Amino acid sequence: MPLIDAAHLYRYYGKHCAVNNLSFHLHKGDVLGLLGQNGAGKTTSLQMLCGVLAPSAGQIQINGFDLLKHPLAAKQHIGYLPDTPPLYRDLTVTEYLTYCAKLHGLNKQATRLAMAHVIERCGLISVSKRLIAHLSKGFQQRLGIAQAILHQPDIIILDEPTVGLDPLQMTEIRALIRELGQEHGIILSTHRLSEVQESCNQVHIIHQGKLLLNESIAALDDMMNTGIIQITTRFAADNQRLATIVGVTQIETLAENCLRVHFNPANNPTQALTETIMVAGWELQELTPVKKSLEDIFIALTQDKTS
């Protein structure tokens, strides 16, 4: 049974469709990156999955519980960090986590054990007695994650968990997310492409409320590693002649005597391109496979849907 089974979710604000027919599954051990530009529908999607916002249509099963029919039972399995952490700045770290434990209905012994666990797990030991108002942004994000996992939920949902952090703080939070992903199912939303590549094993690209891509990071790596060759010749090549080679799908002219050849991975034309250039006397100087970036894939998907 998946931890989350979301089917055909829609959310309208008046006539505007913020989320359009979103469906996916989340299993234990998944760290799923919900990637999209600002305004793509990421936060709305997460709020529906947490039960904060009701969908206009569709169904959400949380660990077997229907979120709309059995909200309390379903929400017990969810830990949520909104894009703005729900922190009380006039409390200390310990006081705040004690308060959160009471909200979750934990008894004194369970609270003591849970707090000790999350304070150590999230690297908060050195600041446990300090006022939240005096914590750095990085420690505040750690505390936000601590409150989300305090009750040991199966599902952790993080909305833009590294926004506003410096590079070192980002690295630390990403490492924590990867570690938590070994025992939980995690969804994190982000507009940072590097976030997905460094923290996640699954990626969904969402654009204008629609799910454009649902792939594993491994499959995405395969997509990025194939399909483009950059060629430099001493003399100008005949693009039309190269375009007739089996497998070639597109040729870009980057500069004088420098081409980028796109091809179907099922019909790799590298050998045929090399032979054609040599026979024609254009003198091959460079032939280099080009790895697509996640940015390339993201731009291609979103531009295709926008145009």
Domain count, the chain: 2
pLDDT band at 198 (very low <50, low <70, confident <90, very high): confident
Q: How far is CA 199 from the centre of its chain?
A: 8
The answer to whether residue 64 is domain-embedded is: no
**What pLDDT is stored for residue 5 in this prediction?**
97
136: pLDDT strictly greater than 80: yes
Exposure string for 162-188, b = 16+ CB within 10 A, e = fewer: beebeeebbebbbebbeebbeebbbbb
Can you give the pLDDT at residue 242? 95
Among 126, 152, 178, identify where a domain stops: 152
Six-digit token string for 199: 């923290």
In the block, residue with structure tokens 């790895």 = 291
Local confidence band at 178 (pLDDT 50, 70, 90 cut-offs)? very high
User: How much is the average pLDDT of 158-173?
Assistant: 90
Domain boundary among 121, 152, 183: 152
pLDDT of residue 225: 63
Q: What is the mean pLDDT of residues 231-248?
A: 94
Check pLDDT > 60 for residue 306: no
Higher local confidence (pLDDT), 303 or 196: 196
Tell me: pLDDT of 75 over 90.
Answer: yes
Residue 283 placed within a domain:
yes
* Band of residue 74 on the pLDDT scale cut at 50, 70, 90: very high
Average pLDDT, the chain: 92
Residue 127 lies in a domain: yes
CA atoms of 129 and 116, how far apart (whole Å): 13
Task: Indicate the pLDDT class of residue 298, thresholds 50, 70 and 90.
Answer: confident
* Ranges 40-44, 146-150, 160-164: which has the least confidence: 160-164
Asked if residue 98 is part of any domain, the answer here is: yes
Show Cβ contacts of residue 170 under 8 Å, excluding neighbours closer than 6 positions: 162
The tokens describing 262, both together, are 């796109």
* CATH classification of the domain holding 278: 3.30.70.100
* Nearby residues of 15 by Cβ (< 8 Å), 6 or more positions away: none
Would you list the DSSP string of the chain? --SEEEEEEEEEETTEEEEEEEEEEE-TT-EEEEE--TTSSHHHHHHHHHTSS--SEEEEEETTEETTTSHHHHHTTEEEE-SS----TTSBHHHHHHHHHHHTT--HHHHHHHHHHHHHHTT-GGGTTSBGGGS-HHHHHHHHHHHHHTT--SEEEEESTTTT--HHHHHHHHHHHHHHTTTSEEEEEES-HHHHHHH-SEEEEEETTEEEEEEEHHHHHHHHHSSEEEEEESS---HHHHHTSTTEEEEEEEETTEEEEEE-GGG--HHHHHHHHHHHT--EEEEEE-PPPHHHHHHHHHHHHH-
Question: Tens digit of pLDDT for each residue in 76-133?
Answer: 999 999 988 999 999 999 999 999 999 999 999 999 999 999 999 999 999 999 999 9
C-alpha to C-alpha distance for 254 and 258, rounded to whole angstroms? 6
pTM here is 0.80
* Mean pLDDT for the stretch of residues 140-158: 96
Does residue 46 form part of some domain? no
Report if residue 157 sits inside a domain. Answer: no
Given a cut of 80, whether residue 305 has pLDDT beyond it is no
Question: Which residue from 287, 2, 3, 1 is spatially nearest to 157, judged by alpha carbons?
Answer: 3
Per-residue pLDDT reduced to its tens digit, 262-286? 888 778 899 999 999 999 999 999 9
Does the pLDDT value for residue 1 go beyond 80?
yes
Quick one: residue 41, left, alpha or beta (phi over 0 = left, psi -120 to 50 = alpha)? left
Q: For residue 95, what are the domain limits? A: 83-152
pLDDT at 218: 82
CA 3 – CA 53 distance, rounded (Å): 19
Asked if the structure places residue 125 within a domain, the reply is yes
For the sheet with 65-66, list strands across it: 16-26, 4-13, 57-62, 65-66
Answer yes or no: is 209 within a domain.
no
Give CA–CA dist 234/289, Å, rounded.
19
